[in-house]
Amino acid sequence: MKILFVENHAVFAQQVTTQFLGEHEVKIVPSLADARIQIGQTVYELILVDYDLDDGKGAELIRELRTAGHGVRIIGVSAREEGNKAMLEAGANAICSKMKFDHIREFI
């Protein structure tokens, strides 16, 4: 599966990709701006998006995609409950807390 992972903590992103997403083709980007570029250039089957990013909130990206009618499956990944709630309200299909990332396969 082709996955876009929008996460600004590079070490976390690489560790969880190696540990839990190794059988997938994962592109890691650190910002909303980079995510927008990637989404414009490549078709992804799944987007994993963190809430707190350096250039905004993950819910912004989710809302943009849903408003544009983009049907890609989106899973919000945040350590903060308010972030997870905001991403669900913005249109994420599911939430996987960073504290329970070992369960990500259940959401994929």
Residue 44 phi/psi, 5-degree rounding, is: -110, 145
pTM of the predicted protein model? 0.92
58-67 vs 32-41: helix crossing angle, rounded to 10: 30
Q: Quick: pLDDT tens for 84-107.
A: 999 999 999 998 877 676 666 666
CATH number at residue 33: 3.40.50.2300
Q: Could you tell me which of 1, 2, 52 has the C-alpha nearest to residue 31?
A: 52
Q: Quick: pLDDT tens for 43-80.
A: 999 999 999 999 999 999 999 999 999 999 999 988 88
Q: Do residues 53 and 79 make contact, with C-beta atoms less than 8 angstroms apart?
A: no
DSSP state of 36: H
Residue 53 lies in domain: 2-107
What is the number of structural domains in the chain?
1
Rg (CA), the chain: 12
In sequence order, what are the residues at sequence separation of 6 or more whose Cβ sits closer than 8 angstroms to the Cβ of residue 65?
39, 47, 72, 74, 91
